Structures are given as C-alpha cells and as structure tokens.
Amino acid sequence: MGRNARKRISYVLPLADSAGGHRLGVNGLAVDPQNSILYSGGRDGVICAWDLQLDLNKTNAEERDPFADSNAADYKPPPTQFRQQVQAHTHWINDIVLAQDNSALVSASSDITVKVWRPAAIDKLPPQTIGLHTDYVKRVASPGGNENWVASGGLDRKVSLWDLNGAGKKLEIAVGEDENTAKGSVYALAVTPSIIASGGPESIVRVWDARSGKRITKFVGHTDNVRDILLAKDGDMILTGSSDQTVKVWSMTAGRCMYTLTMHNDSVWSLHSDSPELDVFYSSDRSGMVAKSDVRNCAEMDEGLSLAICQEHEGVNKVVAAGDYVWTATSSSSINRWNDVETAAEVELPESYRWHRNSVSTMRSRYPSPPAVSPQTNGATPKIPLKSLLRMSNTAPFPQALATKEADVSTLASSTRKPSEVLAVPDQGVVGPVRNLPDFCIEGQNGLIKHHLLNDRRRVLTLDTAGEVVLWDLLQCAPIKSYGKKHMEDVLPEINTQDSVAHWCAVDTRIGSLTCVLEENYCFDAETYADELELEEKIEFREDHRSMYILHWPAGTD
C-alpha cells in the first residue's frame, strides 16, 4: 500500500519594486504578429506580455527599411510597453510556444509541469496545468494552426502530447526505449500535425509518427548535444542546431544529412524560421552571435548567404524574428530588439575592389551582378557590410570572393578559417556584425540570487542581482532592513543569533524572489515565545491556552 502524497504549500514574498518585467534570465520568446505582442518566459517562473506597437505583417521587402540605423532621424519605432504578467511556475520556465492560432500560450518548466495560459480569454483564468512529467520539462512545441494539442519533452526521457482543453495525455513516447538505452533526455523538440522530431545529449535526431507514436527514423551525424530543431511545413526538411557548432540539414526523403553548415564557431543554442520551407532562418550561439541565413533560389544550400546580424554580450538562449525586427533572450533579465537585415540588399564594396566573375560562377543569381556602370551611392541605399558575411560551410566559396582585387583572388580562394570566422578583407578593419547596438531594450528588474536562513528560522538574508543585501521576515512576509551593497558574509555575523529553532519551512531564491515552502510533516515543529514574536497585531490568548502552555513547561523550571 503506497503512502499518501505529502501536501506542500509555497508562498512567494513580494519584492518591494513591483514594476513589470523579469527578474532573472529569459529562456523563451514567442511573437504574435497579428496582435503585435511579444511573450517571454523567464527563470523567475514568470510569463510576460509586451505591447510591441509595431506593424509586423509586412511581407514586401520593398516596403521595408531594414537599415534604419542610418536613417534614425527619419523614423523611430515606438517603445515596447509592458502589458501584463503572471507567475505561472515555481521554477524556471525553459520554453514557451503559441498554439491554437496564437490564442493560447503554453509553457514548459523545471517544476515538471506543462501549463496553458489564455491571456485574451474572458474568464481571465491563471495558467492551467495540462501536463505533468516526472523531471524537468525542457521543451514544448506546437503543430501550428488550430490544432488542439502540444508536445513536450524533458529529462524524464519522455515526449508527451497533451490536449489543450484539459483532456489529459493523448500520447506518450519513451525516447530510446526501442534502442535499449538509458539515455534519451529531450533538449530539442519540433512537431507538425503528422511528425515529431526530438534531439538530446546522445547527438541523435529521432522522428516519430505523431498519430501512432511509432518511430519513423533516426538521424546520426552530430557529435554533441542537439539543442534545437526546425521542421519544414511539409515535414521533409529538418534543421538541427548542436553544441558541436554546426547546423545540419536533413532530408526525410533521402534519409540522410544533406548539408552541414558551419557559420558558427560556438555551440548553437537556438534556431528560428517563419518560412514554411525554412529557406530563411536565424541561428544563435553561446558566444552571443546571431546569424541570418538565406538560401532562396540556391542550387545548393551551402551556396546561400549568411551574415552576422548582431552580437550579444553573452549566449543567446532564444532568438525570434517578425516584421523588420529580431529579439534576443539571454541570461540577463532584459530583452533586446534589433533591426533585421534584408538579405536581398547589395554587398557594400570598397572602391578599390572590382567585380570578379570567375570566382562566383557557381553562385546564385541573388548576389549582385557586376554593373556596367557603378551606381552612385550617397549612403541612402542600404547595403550589407562585406565584413559581416559568413561562410556557410567548409566547402562553400568565400563570400568575399565576390569582390576581390585581381592580385588577391588566389589568396582568398586558398585561405582557411575556423567556422564562423568571416574572412577579413585587407584594409577593412575588424570583422563585426551588421548591428552594433540594439534598436531597443526591454529592461528587466533585479532579482534575488542568494539567501541565508538565520538561526531564528524567521529571518532571511538575501542578495540580489544589483548586489544589495536585504533582511526579510518570513512571518511579516516583507523586507525589514536593507544593508546596501555589501558582502553577505560581512553582514551575517552581525545579525545572526544563537537561537536554536527547529526547521519549520524551506526557503529558496531560484525564481528571483524569496519562496517559503511548507511541508505538512514538519511545518508545525518550531516553537517560540508569543511575547517574542513582535507581530504588528498583538495576539490575545484565551485563559485555557495559557494554562495549556504552563502544563507543558518542563518540570523543575523556575
């Protein structure tokens, strides 16, 4: 006979600054272009909604001015405004996705739950749990459209399909079960209405039938953790990003890897594409670089154009794009918005360079043809800086071969480089991204990152991301004193007492706020004198209560 599940109650002490925004790093981003709303999920367990106030539905490249940096005086996009937020989880949110025509936002968390939130619903209900794993849930994916299910995967080596209307589990797949392996944690997940693809630490990409759960195939080729996956709408092409620094292109029809793209020189953490054919996609890595790759009209995929859009100061956990903008999420509580780059633009060439036909004979027609007469450029025509181009694969021609001095052609063609390094053009300076600074920053808040429960089991000393040390009272549920920016180790001896009080709760700061957890088997174990509580509201004890405490006082005590 199994034991009854222990009951647990958690309460979060509100921080003094209640301004909207995340308090810890951001792991998930999702854009609703129709309503111009950005959703973000953070390590603080919070889901935020942001009003972008942008037109994200432009599809005609001629309508765009992607190089607005040079024309900032002519147009300044409106600032992003905080819309609403909800404390959805009690642990990190690892991933979020929009579902059911963007009416539902689904989140996956290390608190082992999968939840759905409908922010525009009339009932205004908080996020509802629709699924439960037995370990951290790392990824969640939607088949798109109005489908009524989502898939989730995590460290319990399960991929599960959940009904968005609360009807429970529709399907469960034990990853690696048919291979008799103990591995199978899911770090990457993508779905269409008909297939499911997942990846993880074994470096294997597995594909299943979404209706029956039967495995269709598996792809072997990566040499490190598979971190993200994209599926083409027709289900034939699969893109995977890995910690082995590559993006691989797989074909379901051919049953093999078609291309290995090496525009990055660090672990690839995130992939994004709104194109059904995945012919334009974004990728980000641990070094903070965000690349945009365009393979439209290419005979071979590695002949496409890839360029470094921007460079964050730390690894990019998630990259998304919509309209003329790109958003990046990092371990910072802030979210950056960058101007996108139109890949159909001309490459900016130094005046001392001439067009060289022979080295681009196999390149696609997208690259600008050598003009009979050099066009007059006064800075008004947006162009792609030559220094921002990336070589898509080790077998692809160097992009800079488009514009070389005649004497330097052989040198450029024979040069070698590490993946993700742009071949520097003489006298062109340091290689860099197109965008040096974000167009806008959604500022985050400070969160708690360290704590110490004092001996009286009532007060807690905390440290936040700004370096401020604050003392909290668990019974008053409020901060009682700030010590400014000091080392916790210096403050602790000054305020800790010699009291010996039994543990009655557990505290943590894993979501950037102080959380107090009560377990039914020990939450009443602590005792203290009523006159020492120092509560704001005085407690009046009945006469029989006073007698009870006297009777329980140890014999022989004065």
Lowest mean pLDDT among 11-20, 317-326, 350-359: 350-359
What are the structure tokens assigned to 340, written together? 């996108």
What are the structure tokens assigned to 273, written together? 């594409």
Q: Domain coordinates of the chain in residue numbers?
A: 92-220, 446-551
- The third-level CATH classification (topology) of the domain covering 92-220 is Methylamine Dehydrogenase; Chain H (2.130.10)
- 526 with 501: CB under 8 angstroms? yes
Report d(CA 83, CA 47) in Å as an integer.
11
pTM for the full model? Answer: 0.85
User: What is the pLDDT at residue 61?
Assistant: 47
Tell which phi-psi region holds residue 309, choosing left (phi > 0), alpha (psi between -120 and 50) or beta.
Answer: alpha
- Run of H or E residues at 514: strand 514-519
Q: Is the pLDDT of residue 281 over 90?
A: yes
pLDDT tens sequence across 323-373: 999 999 999 999 999 999 999 888 887 665 544 433 443 444 444 443 333
Mean pLDDT along residues 394-400? 69
Q: What angle (nearest 5°) sits at the alpha carbon of residue 239, between those of residues 234 and 243?
A: 160
- 363 with 357: CB under 8 angstroms? no
Instruction: Give me the phi and psi of 530, to 5 degrees please.
Output: -60, -35
Q: Identify any residues that bridge with 360 across adjacent strands, giving them in sequence order.
A: none
User: What is the pLDDT at residue 70?
Assistant: 38
User: What is the pLDDT at residue 472?
Assistant: 95
Q: What angle (nearest 5°) sits at the alpha carbon of residue 86, between those of residues 81 and 87?
A: 135
pLDDT band of 521, cuts 50, 70, 90: confident
The one-letter amino acid at 541: F
Average pLDDT, the chain: 84
Residue corresponding to tokens 């810890």:
24
